[in-house]
Amino acid sequence: MFDGVPLGILVGAATVFGAVFGSFLNVCILRWGAEPKQSVVRPPSRCPRCGHALSWYENVPVLSWLALRGRCRGCGLPISIQYPLIELAVAAIWGGMVWWFGAGLAAVAGAVFFTILLGIAVTDARAYLIPDEFSLGGLVVGLVLAALAGWSQLLVAALGAAVGFGLLWLVAVGGTWLFKKDAMGGGDIKMMAMIGAFVGWKSVLLTIFLGALLGSLIFVPLTLAGSKRLVPFGIFLALGAAASYLVGPEILEWYGRFVIGA
Ligand SMILES: [Zn+2]
């Protein structure tokens, strides 16, 4: 479809697209993470402090924040740097995926997947919850993208979703039995089903392993230091999933060669 178009132009276009998606992701994070949950369509973007409705030129990804010097035109109070940072991150994700995979289905799948992972990580960090819109919505998108790639891809994705869901469900049930309290939220379980749909069943195992490893590296010292902080486990699963997606086969091969000796 994009034959003859220089890669630089495609990457640039994907980056601009990404910034716009990032702007929408900000809205999703804020409204799906709110209690009660709010619509991401209505009302249009406004300043959370004074209600000043944003005109189009106050709503341009990254550039508006810079032009306004990070302050609302209505009340003059600071606008969180989270907005331009997420726009930049999603812009980099979309540009990077096209640069890595070339313009095609693989790049779209990777970009959608990483955008959802970022949304989950930030929402989990802010509100300690993983909205179904990201997990279950992402699961549906992941299965559809896999189906577009062919029947065998769809089978791998469906297996991945089942393994991710089933394993984390077992961990949750086992943890509840062991610690006599809920060790893991339902959000994490649904999130792993979504991840499985994008990475397949092998990398889903790797994701859980990496997520648990990262989580304990950070959580155990915190607990020993007496912190009662909740652990947004979704962040660690998101990091594990991103690593599995990009270098999963390499890690598994290394593991097979050096650890199992196969
Ligand atoms: Zn304001």
Q: How many other CB atoms sit within 10 Å of the CB of residue 177? A: 9
Beta strands in the chain (DSSP E): none
Distance 32 CA to ligand 1 centre (A): 21
In this prediction, residue 183 carries a pLDDT of 62
In this prediction, residue 228 carries a pLDDT of 66
- pLDDT, tens digit, 9 for 90 and up, residues 204-243: 999 999 998 988 888 778 777 777 667 788 999 999 999 9
Distance 55 CA to ligand 1 centre (A): 13
Distance 200 CA to ligand 1 centre (A): 44
Distance 115 CA to ligand 1 centre (A): 27
pLDDT above 90: residue 46: no
In this prediction, residue 262 carries a pLDDT of 59
| Mean pLDDT, residues 104-115 taken together | 96
| Mean pLDDT, residues 59-64 taken together | 92
Q: How many other CB atoms sit within 10 Å of the CB of residue 140? A: 11
Between 111 and 177, the more confident residue is 111
Q: Where are the alpha helices (DSSP H) in 33-68?
A: 63-67
pLDDT above 70: residue 178: yes
| Mean pLDDT, residues 169-180 taken together | 82
Q: What is the mean pLDDT of the chain?
A: 90
In this prediction, residue 229 carries a pLDDT of 66
Q: Considering only CA atoms, which of 67, 49, 50 is closest in space to residue 58?
A: 67
pLDDT above 90: residue 112: yes
Distance 113 CA to ligand 1 centre (A): 32
Secondary structure class of 71 (helix, strand, coil)? strand
In this prediction, residue 224 carries a pLDDT of 77
3-state helix, strand, coil in the chain (%, to 5): 75, 0, 25
Exposure string for 54-89, b = 16+ CB within 10 A, e = fewer: beeebebbbebbeeeeeebeeeeeebeeebbebbbb
Distance 76 CA to ligand 1 centre (A): 6
Distance 47 CA to ligand 1 centre (A): 5
pLDDT bracket for residue 94 (50, 70, 90):
very high
9-13, 90-94, 147-151, 252-256: segment of lowest average pLDDT: 252-256
Distance 68 CA to ligand 1 centre (A): 12
- pTM above threshold 0.85: yes
pLDDT bracket for residue 175 (50, 70, 90):
confident
In this prediction, residue 222 carries a pLDDT of 77
Distance 50 CA to ligand 1 centre (A): 4
Share of the chain above pLDDT 70, in %: 97
Distance 254 CA to ligand 1 centre (A): 52
| Mean pLDDT, residues 178-195 taken together | 84
Residue partners of 73: CB distance under 8 A and separation at least 6? 52, 58
In this prediction, residue 226 carries a pLDDT of 74
| Mean pLDDT, residues 60-75 taken together | 93
pLDDT bracket for residue 171 (50, 70, 90):
confident
